[in-house]
Chain A
Amino acid sequence: MPVAVFEMPDGAEQVLDVPDDWSLMEAARRDGLEGIVAECGGGAICGTCHVQVDPRWYASLEAPGMMEEALLEVVPERCATSRLSCQVVMTPALDGIRVRVPSSQLEL
């Protein structure tokens, strides 16, 4: 099964199995990963599943939709490779993708 590597604010790494066609948020929630709150269940409306994608992987992702783009404008610790993990859907090409959980996510 493809995996995604989540780097936590304290530097610890968590390697999660992500079935094809599942979002990174779904996999993180299933594992109970701290900091991926996903209050809205994955609708790109609450902005509580923000991750910073490793720049080497960012270009492999489809561009964010308008709603996600707008939400990324208002999340704390936004960077050039920020995404909502509920909108990043696993494909075979993304096996091994690395993302960082911003520390502000732990305070939600």
Chain B
Amino acid sequence: MADLLSTHVAIIGTGHAGVECAWALRAAGFEGDIMLLGAEPHPPYERPPLSKGLLTGTTSADRIALRAGDTYEKQGIRYSADDPVASIDTAARLIHTQAGRRIAYQHCVLATGASARGIAGLAGDHVHAVRGLDDAHRLRDAIRPGHRLLIVGAGYLGLEAACSARKLGAEVCVLEQQRGVMAGKVSAPTAERMETLHRHAGIDIRHGVAVTGWQRTPDAWRASLACGGVVDGQQVLVSIGAVADTRLAEAAGLECRDGIVVDEQCRASAPGIYAIGDCASAYRAELQRHARVESVQNALMQARTAAAVIAGKRPPAAKPLTFWSEQHGRRLQMAGLVHPALPCDDHVHATAKGWLVERYQQGRLAALEAVDSPVEFIKGVPRIGTPPVHV
């Protein structure tokens, strides 16, 4: 008979969201048992440095740990690593792990995150993604000065990795299907200026380019392009977005639509179940629909919300979503969400070190972008959702 354990709260997933939820429960005065169930062998760590400092070697695995090893015990949080959850029985409120543990719970928080989207036919030793620590170490070991890294996808992750690989002396070519970099994420003026920085750093960015096929040559992967021509790379990084890890939730019969569907209190469709962070799809009034949001700040906010609800406290007030990226030593901060189907009126302002873009939709400030302008950003965020200020 497998071990039967019991806990008041079981948190599945040990990224930013899961770890914050455990700590936020204690901060809210929750005194019950908390179990934090990790699938990876590594203790919980920060993910944003994986494509930046960890890749270039300016930081190391021990420095990006989210908490020191002994703090879990001090907080009365039972943390276990390397034992993925196999299934959840929401009627019996019972978790089964792959190692055969059974865990009875009162509340179960899903913080399972998201996995890299792959490309059919593109796999093997020289193909990479960056979602976890092992991925980042593997890519770092594969990057060689003078060798070419082909990056598929010019989103935040792809561009950050491009900067890091370039710093390590690799040739870098970025292929992007859409027009422009960070398409749909940032304004055209910001995209164009950031693209110029990448070009000046010697990164070959090709956007509006469709790859029609991949072929393995003796020493490289070869991408065939729709416009004709081919491009080779000894290594390939696929950074075309992430897919919510909803396998457990779907098997448990929870409502999922590009993420685990939750209400504004992070409650999923079965009693006692919550979902937070990259795997959760909450209603976003600014988009008038449910949407997943991949951002540390969102993960922390949802973690505190679920913790407050479980602890019977008032959840924190909603705040605009924020995001950040770092490319070529320039810091890009964003706040708010732009509705993709509505026109956007972008106002660009020069600042002392960079620029600020106010993005208006339907007469209201929908989003804000700031490059090397943190003060203007902090002052601007509370204005999100309000009409323009006329001076």
Contacts and interface: CB of A to CB of B under 8 A. Distances in A.
Contacts of A67: 353, 374
Given A26-B63, A39-B296, A45-B333, A74 B68 contact: no
Contact of A43 (B66, B316, B331, B353): B331
A74 B375 CA distance: 7
A70 B378 CA distance: 11
Interface in B65-111: 65-68, 71, 75
A43 B297 CA distance: 15
B71 A30 contact: yes
**Residue of A29, A32, A47 with most partner-chain B CB within 10 A:** A32
Nearest to A39: B297
A34 interface: yes
A92 interface: no
A32 B303 CA distance: 14
Contacts of A45: 324, 331, 333, 374, 377
Nearest to B67: A32
Given A32-B23, A32-B67, A40-B324, A47 B300 contact: no
B49 interface: yes
Contacts of A29: 66-67
A82 B333 CA distance: 23
Given A34-B27, A46-B374, A41 B48 contact: yes
Given A39-B296, A39-B297, A73 B67 contact: no
Contacts of B75: 32
A30 B23 CA distance: 12
Interface band, chain A: 20 to 34
A31 B71 contact: yes
Contacts of A34: 23, 27
A32 B71 contact: yes
Q: For this complex, into which size category does the number of interface residues on chain B fall?
A: 20 to 34
Contact of A74 (B63, B300, B378): B378
A39 B299 CA distance: 10
B378 A47 contact: yes
A43 B377 CA distance: 14
A43 B49 CA distance: 11
Contacts of B48: 41
A54 to B, nearest CB: 24
Interface of B: 23, 27, 46, 48-49, 63, 65-68, 71, 75, 296-297, 300, 316, 322, 324, 326, 331, 333, 353, 374-375, 377-379
Given A26-B63, A71-B375, 12 more contacts: A30-B67, A31-B68, A32-B71, A39-B300, A41-B48, A41-B296, A45-B331, A45-B377, A46-B322, A47-B374, A67-B353, A74-B378
